[in-house]
Amino acid sequence: MQRRRRHARLLLLCVVLAGLLLCIWQTAHVAREQALEDLRQDAENELRLSAAGLVGHLSRHDYLPELLASRELVKRFLAKPQQQDAMPLNLLLDRFRATAGVSDIYLLDRQGDTLAASNWHRPDTFVGQNYAFRRYFQEAIKGENGRFFGLGSQSGDRGYYFSAPVWLDQANPSARPAGVIVVKVQLSDVEHSWAEQDAELLVTDRNGIIFMASQPDLRLTAMQPLSDEQRRAIHGSRRYGEAALPHAGITPLERPDSGTRLVDVTSGPLATTRYLSLTRAMPEFEWDMHILKPVTPVVNAQWVSSLLAGGLYGVVALGGAIGWQRWRLRRERERFAERERRTLARARDELERNVANRTRDLVATNQRLSDEIEERRRAEQSLRETRDELVQAAKLAVLGQLAAGINHELNQPLSAIRAYAENAGAFIERGRTDTAAANLAQIIELTDRMAEISAQLRQFSRKSGDTLTSVSVPSCFDYALRLFQTRLNELAVSVERDWAPDDIWVRADPVRLEQVLVNLIGNALQAMSHTPAPCLTLTIRAEAERVSISVADNGPGIEESRLSRVFEPFFTTKSSGSGLGLGLSISGRIIDDLGGRIEAGHNAGGGALFTITLPRDAGPTPRNASEEPVSDA
């Protein structure tokens, strides 16, 4: 029977663990799909807006070549270019360039030679260059408006080109264009606007060459490795000059649906993160626009959902176990009552004969009741110990956050001790004992400093007691600030102390009060991590019977809708992975146990404000008046 019960308990434990794993896996899967869908929608919206912005930026200049081709000065110059001065035309083209905000404007004759240009005065001027090989010239000289994108053969800059034919006699059906007006538009302004987005944007041509990119290192690379034949064909078009066109390192991993895919970047500046990739065709330019969104939010959503699902499953399992235990106790009481009724029935019939049996039953009943009372007492004691361990765990969590700063403060004296020790040894070998003794004195002073640092850690990590004593509030603030001294220096936080010069005492437990202040100051420092001029304001106001203790910062503050929930367990306003939301809940429980209250609000100058109210105390008794406050240990 006992063996069967053990097997049943083992089977139940396996079922519970399997359910936990299944719940976490299923929740993570659903969270991943939902997060991917949300990320895909965001990426699709950003891609649509970016594509529209690029089309708008380029299309607003397509009228300019035709407008310039109709100018009388352009036609008059093309009629007899050898007999006229090109400077008026150069100045006209330069004025139009500055007004329209384009890169360059230039005029070509029928052979593709540049007769006038807006950059006539620059060393890389187009004047005298032949561009008959360019597609925008070939299309325009046939009487059509031309478009082209590529690297400038003279400047080497990427640009988009608009061209229009210049007609001297457009009324004649057999007339041919006398020249071509070309407008070059720079693409860097659009790329600069892309750099502000939380995504990477790429534009590729029909050959998969990345012509535009928000990441400069990806420009003039290929989405897929190029074969020798493809590379020769691209170089033969002279669109990208002699650019090497290496592979961008973007490798597809999986396709969540037909319109998106997950990609990995094996090299370059994006090689540390996986991305969700979407593509949008731009047929009017013969381009494809791609967007790469980091999948970090998807991973974070999976972790958060898994932790929440595991926690909820644990709560449900715990509730089920408690319910089952209560059901067992009720059944046991019912069986006991039934036995009592049968005993009383038999006692009525055979009172004298069963007196001894009834006495034994009553004794056994009393023993069981005593056992239940003892069990309840142990359960209450275990609950109190669990609460104290949770408080201690929260303190150790804060202690872990301070470890980096304490390590930095210990490394400096350790390095100095090593240097002083080596120097002392050298001085002793030379017989300079006085100098060696001075170095040893410096070592002693540095070890005292290290002892003070470790004493702060031991003081903060100790467990609190159940007895309330007189506690100095300014001393508790000083202790908490010493623990955060490194972070205060790193963030350049200004600390404002607002209280009377006399000592102010409250009735509390020093260790638990210090823990609450450390938690509030740590939250304030984390909230001001991105504030330009962080300021921490500590206030103490003493009344007749109560003392108000305030911690305020000038960070982003707490939203009004969240103020009523900040003391709930597992509720946090921090980013994902920055905390479990237990610090303020534990602090609220500690203040309640001390007979006070804690409130959250808004700071008058912006930021968060936490106010603690505790019973005031007259101070330590004369016997302890000369002793150091516990918080200064």
Cβ burial 19-58 (10 Å sphere, 16+ → b, else e): eeeebbeebbeebbeebbeebbebbbebbeebbeebeeeb
> What residues contact 388, with CB distance under 8 A and at least 6 apart?
463, 464
* Residue 571 clears pLDDT 70, i.e. is over it: no
90 falls within a domain: yes
Q: Is the dihedral of CA 511, 516, 521, 522 positive or negative?
A: positive
What is the predicted pLDDT for the residue at 540?
95
Q: Using CA atoms, how far apart are residues 633 and 627, in angstroms rounded to an integer?
A: 11
What is the predicted pLDDT for the residue at 162?
92
> What residues contact 238, with CB distance under 8 A and at least 6 apart?
133, 150, 153
Both tokens of residue 366? 């009393």
Both tokens of residue 550? 């305030």
Residue in the structure block whose two tokens are 């035309």: 89
* Residue 136 clears pLDDT 60, i.e. is over it: yes
Select from 186, 206, 238 the last residue of a domain: 186
Give the start-end residues of each E strand in 329-447: none
> What residues contact 291, with CB distance under 8 A and at least 6 apart?
43, 46, 47, 50, 199, 200, 201, 202, 277, 278, 280
Check residues 588 and 632 and name the one with the higher pLDDT. 588
* Residue 541 clears pLDDT 80, i.e. is over it: yes
Cβ burial 487-499 (10 Å sphere, 16+ → b, else e): bbeebebeeeeeb
Task: Provide the domain count of the chain.
Answer: 2
pLDDT tens, position by position, 292-311: 888 888 778 878 888 888 88
Both tokens of residue 37? 């869908």
440 falls within a domain: no
431 falls within a domain: no
What is the predicted pLDDT for the residue at 539?
96
294 falls within a domain: no
Amino acid at position 428, single letter = I
List alpha helices for 202-257, DSSP H: 228-237
pLDDT tens, position by position, 377-398: 887 777 666 656 665 665 555 5
Mean pLDDT, residues 442-470 taken together = 64
Q: Which of 149-153, 201-205, 270-274 has the highest mean pLDDT?
A: 201-205
Q: Using CA atoms, how far apart are residues 581 and 583, in angstroms rounded to an integer?
A: 6
* Residue 118 clears pLDDT 60, i.e. is over it: yes
75 falls within a domain: yes
Q: Which of 149, 191, 192, 144 is nearest to 164 (CA)?
A: 144
531 falls within a domain: yes
- Angle at which helices 355-429 and 296-349 cross, to 10°: 150
Residue 174: C-alpha distances to residues 88, 139, 152, 181, 555 (Å): 30, 17, 33, 20, 75
Mean pLDDT, residues 414-429 taken together = 76
Predicted confidence band at 105 (pLDDT cuts at 50, 70, 90)? very high
Q: Using CA atoms, how far apart are residues 576 and 561, in angstroms rounded to an integer?
A: 19
User: What is the CB neighbour count within 10 angstroms for residue 361?
Assistant: 17
Q: Which of 589, 587, 569 is nearest to 579 (CA)?
A: 569
User: Can you give the CATH number for the domain in which 591 is found?
Assistant: 3.30.565.10
> In whole numbers, what is the pLDDT of the chain averaged over residues?
81
Q: Which residues, listed in sequence order, are joined to residue 213 by a DSSP beta bridge? A: 202
Helix (H) or strand (E) run with residue 193 in it? helix 188-194
Check residues 273 and 142 and name the one with the higher pLDDT. 142
* Residue 500 clears pLDDT 50, i.e. is over it: yes
Q: Which residues, listed in sequence order, are joined to residue 159 by a DSSP beta bridge? A: 150, 186
Provide the domain limits for residue 75. 64-186
List alpha helices for 484-610, DSSP H: 485-491, 510-527, 583-593
The answer to whether 555 and 522 are in contact (CB under 8 A) is: no
Mean pLDDT, residues 98-102 taken together = 89
401 falls within a domain: no
Task: Point out the least confidently predicted range of 83-97, 106-120, 306-320, 381-395.
Answer: 381-395
- Reported as half-sphere exposure (CB side, CA atoms, 13 A), residue 292 has a value of 21
* Residue 630 clears pLDDT 70, i.e. is over it: no
The answer to whether 178 and 166 are in contact (CB under 8 A) is: yes
Check residues 487 and 521 and name the one with the higher pLDDT. 521
Select from 171, 186, 201 the last residue of a domain: 186
Show the 3-state SS of 26-88.
Answer: HHHHHHHHHHHHHHHHHHHHHHHHHHHHHHHHHHCCCCHHHHHHCCHHHHHHHHCHHHCCCHH
Residue 398: C-alpha distances to residues 402, 534, 589, 625 (Å): 6, 21, 17, 31
| Coil, helix or strand at residue 225 | coil
Q: Using CA atoms, how far apart are residues 128 and 122, in angstroms rounded to an integer?
A: 13
User: Can you give the CATH number for the domain in which 130 is found?
Assistant: 3.30.450.20
- DSSP character at residue 267: S
* Residue 264 clears pLDDT 60, i.e. is over it: yes
Predicted confidence band at 65 (pLDDT cuts at 50, 70, 90)? very high
Select from 186, 213, 244 the last residue of a domain: 186
168 falls within a domain: yes
Residue 277 buriedness (CB in 10 A; 0-12 / 13-18 / 19+): buried
Q: How far apart are the first and last CA of the chain?
A: 58
* Residue 178 clears pLDDT 70, i.e. is over it: yes
Mean pLDDT, residues 3-29 taken together = 82
Predicted confidence band at 462 (pLDDT cuts at 50, 70, 90)? low
Check residues 552 and 570 and name the one with the higher pLDDT. 552
Check residues 631 and 64 and name the one with the higher pLDDT. 64
Residue 389: C-alpha distances to residues 204, 332, 394, 464, 522 (Å): 59, 33, 9, 10, 20
